[in-house]
């Protein structure tokens, strides 16, 4: 059945009423209708002729909108489009009403105009005013292209035949970037990520000035510029705020997401999409937990036997070219790739080829039974700390990681959940904890050799029994840092911080995204719970305990962890987003307030941005609440 237009529906209603009146009355009504129509035509013509002076939000692209949103008392209220003379899309109302709609919330002064003008992606141009190196200039140009491509994605199917011609011509936008600082475009531990953005009209054009001390800071400025640009479906055009100033810098230098690709394999395309979503939220560390006891899916050039014996199959392997692709993609988006090969535990069949190669046993307890006696989840496996060949192998692995990622100031050794019983079974002459400590020292030694004779500035270990007293005191806080995954109230979680170890927070009771999905095996619990909502993620501030000790804690930042025992390709986006976006704002801005109404509104807008980029982020609430947000808060 063909749906009638507003005009058809109106005319049909009028003729039905005419049939029920007398001839004379009908004539009178028809004359009145004709007079009204003539007046309406004259009024419409007057408005059309005056289109240059009409507000942009009163126009739409030939569609017949059902709803209009108006900013009333600093909030967007929904009205039937037929009940108001002003037609405004939800997107434009959100951007022009009281909330900043930036994510993560900037930490410095912000001033945003309440008016918008039309733009097009191909009318943006870049001018690099200052740059400390050719490499930085190259990265700025590539990051600008990434921004333009995101704008083109928004424009897809709209620019051209669907665009209103009477909203005025699109403005030219000149983006001027100045970087006065580091000539190294990589994300480093000491990278200054601050930036300043100033958007202003200049005649019939717009000028954007972005100043930063690093490429990564400038890239964040481009990301913010993208956030003050949006698609208005009623105008059929991209719009941009007419003016804006933003001064911004992150609270924490380490803002990460861990993805486990060993329990289940994820194609490169899903990793790239995840990195793109991270960039949209100004996260800066993709912690790639590439291997575990279940599989070793990376075919190293220096040790291809690990994937040959440890991968699920030929279709579940990352090549060195794949790693280079991921690293380059991340770097242009201001993100480091931190690859972790977890040792000495969490290894499996990947290390079972030693005897046939004449290297002896590289690992023990591989797929040992009953597994619950030798590891936390099947299958088991643990490196042989007394075999010198294992350290030669690790040196090759570490060197290849550093060469491919070009991340040499931070490294992750793993070091989680070592089974004392496994080593006690094979080395009954030595305390397993002494073996663990000796292995860690040896691993650190070969890491230094692999890194050109220099230890990374920060070498991370997972929190474990090794990072509890009395063993914690035997580790050097100048050489090691700790990624704290235990519950926030566990004494050992606080002990690491109290002892002065630089730490990355990943508390299981707040930032483990795999929790709340039940057990995947029937022999034990095998899961953490309950589900960690985005509100819980957002409101977790373990460093804000208001104690003298916490004020001095050397917290580098934090990371959400997505372990994948119960997750595979196709389900990643909705599991990670928008919860990790909540983490991103916590680590960037760290405002004292929790999940307030403004946070709901801005996160809903950010979630819509992610969806527009092709990220299948889970909804925060029913769509009705997006249309009527204050009714749901």
Hey, is 498 helix, strand or coil? helix
Contact 126, 177 (CB under 8 A): yes
For the chain, state the CA radius of gyration. 29
The rounded Cα 460 to chain-centroid distance in angstroms is 22
- Alpha-carbon span 511 to 538, nearest angstrom: 9
- Give the H/E segment covering residue 502: none
Cis check: omega of the bond before 250, within 30 degrees of 0: no
What is the C-alpha end-to-end distance of the chain, expressed in Å? 39
- Alpha-carbon span 615 to 580, nearest angstrom: 13
Q: What are phi and psi of 210, to 5 degrees?
A: -115, 120
Contact 495, 474 (CB under 8 A): no
Hey, is 382 helix, strand or coil? strand
- Alpha-carbon span 295 to 317, nearest angstrom: 10
Burial tier of 204 (Cβ tally within 10 Å: 0-12, 13-18, 19+): exposed
User: 162: left (phi > 0), else alpha (psi -120 to 50), else beta?
Assistant: alpha
Distances (CA, A) of 526 to 372, 373, 376, 510, 531: 11, 14, 8, 18, 14
- β-bridge mates for residue 535, sequence order: none
Contact 374, 446 (CB under 8 A): no
CA dihedral angle for residue 143, residue 148, residue 153, residue 154, rounded to 10 degrees: 120
Hey, is 329 helix, strand or coil? helix
- Alpha-carbon span 217 to 125, nearest angstrom: 19
Cis check: omega of the bond before 470, within 30 degrees of 0: yes
Which sign, positive or negative, has the C-alpha torsion 515, 521, 526, 530?
positive
Contact 93, 233 (CB under 8 A): no
Concatenate the DSSP letters of all residues of 280-321 into one string: HTT--EEEEEEE-SS---B--SS-THHHHHHSS-TTS-B-HH
Catalytic residue among 367, 417, 448, 539: 417
- Alpha-carbon span 20 to 45, nearest angstrom: 33
Active site residue 417: yes
- Alpha-carbon span 47 to 54, nearest angstrom: 8
- Give the H/E segment covering residue 504: strand 503-505
Residue numbers annotated as active site: 417
């Amino acid at each position: 059945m063909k749906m009638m237009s507003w005009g058809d529906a109106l005319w049909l209603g009028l003729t039905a009423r005419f049939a029920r009146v007398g001839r004379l009355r009908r004539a009178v009504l028809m004359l009145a209708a004709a007079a009204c129509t003539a007046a309406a035509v004259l009024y419409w013509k007057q408005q059309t002729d005056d289109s240059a002076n009409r507000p942009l939000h009163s126009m739409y692209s030939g569609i017949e909108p059902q709803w209009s949103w108006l900013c009333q008392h600093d909030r967007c209220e929904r009205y039937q489009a037929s009940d108001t003379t002003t037609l405004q899309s939800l997107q434009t109302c959100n951007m022009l009403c009281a909330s900043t709609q930036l994510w993560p919330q900037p930490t410095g002064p912000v001033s945003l105009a309440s008016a918008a003008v039309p733009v097009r992606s191909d009318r943006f141009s870049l001018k690099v005013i200052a740059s400390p190196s050719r490499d930085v200039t190259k990265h700025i140009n590539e990051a600008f292209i990434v921004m333009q491509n995101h704008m083109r994605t928004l424009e897809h199917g709209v620019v051209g035949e669907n665009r209103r011609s009477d909203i005025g011509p699109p403005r030219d936008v000149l983006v001027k970037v100045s970087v006065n600082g580091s000539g190294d475009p990589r994300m480093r531990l000491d990278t200054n990520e601050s930036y300043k953005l100033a958007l202003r009209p200049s005649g019939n054009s717009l000028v954007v000035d972005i100043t930063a001390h690093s490429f990564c800071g400038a890239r964040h400025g481009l990301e913010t510029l993208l956030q003050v640009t949006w698609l208005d479906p009623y105008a059929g055009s991209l719009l941009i705020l007419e003016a804006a100033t933003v001064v911004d810098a992150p609270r924490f230098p380490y803002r990460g997401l861990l993805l486990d690709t060993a329990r289940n394999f994820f194609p490169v395309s899903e990793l790239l999409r995840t990195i793109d979503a991270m960039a949209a939220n100004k996260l800066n560390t993709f912690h790639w937990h590439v291997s575990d006891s279940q599989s070793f899916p990376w075919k190293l050039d220096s040790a291809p036997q690990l994937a040959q014996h440890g991968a699920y199959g030929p279709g579940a392997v990352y090549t060195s070219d794949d790693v280079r692709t991921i690293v380059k993609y991340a770097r242009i988006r201001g993100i480091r790739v931190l690859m972790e090969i977890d040792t000495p535990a969490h290894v499996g069949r990947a290390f079972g080829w030693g005897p046939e190669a004449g290297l002896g046993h590289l690992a023990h307890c591989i797929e040992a039974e009953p597994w619950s006696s030798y590891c936390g989840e099947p299958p088991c496996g643990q490196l042989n700390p007394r075999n010198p060949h294992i350290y030669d192998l690790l040196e090759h692995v570490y060197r290849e990681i550093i060469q491919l990622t070009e991340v040499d100031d931070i490294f992750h050794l793993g070091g989680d959940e070592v089974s004392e019983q496994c080593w006690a079974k094979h080395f009954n002459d030595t305390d397993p904890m002494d073996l663990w400590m000796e292995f860690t020292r040896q691993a650190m030694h070969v890491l230094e050799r692999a890194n050109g004779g220099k230890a990374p500035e920060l070498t991370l270990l997972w929190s474990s029994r090794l990072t509890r007293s009395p063993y914690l005191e035997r580790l050097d806080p100048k050489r090691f840092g700790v990624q704290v995954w235990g519950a926030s109230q566990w004494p050992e979680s606080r002990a690491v911080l109290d002892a002065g170890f630089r730490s990355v927070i990943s508390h299981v009771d707040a930032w483990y995204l795999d929790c709340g999905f039940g057990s995947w095996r029937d022999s034990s619990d095998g899961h953490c719970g309950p589900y960690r909502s985005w509100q819980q993620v957002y409101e977790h501030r373990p460093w804000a305990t208001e104690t003298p000790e916490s004020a001095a804690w050397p917290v580098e930042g934090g990371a959400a962890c997505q372990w994948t025992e119960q997750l595979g390709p196709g389900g990643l986006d909705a599991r990670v987003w928008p919860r990790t976006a909540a983490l991103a704002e916590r680590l960037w801005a760290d405002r004292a307030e929790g999940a307030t109404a403004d946070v709901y509104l801005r996160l809903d807008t950010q979630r819509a941005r992610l969806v527009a980029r092709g990220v299948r982020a889970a909804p925060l609430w029913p769509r009705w609440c997006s249309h009527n947000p204050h009714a749901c808060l």
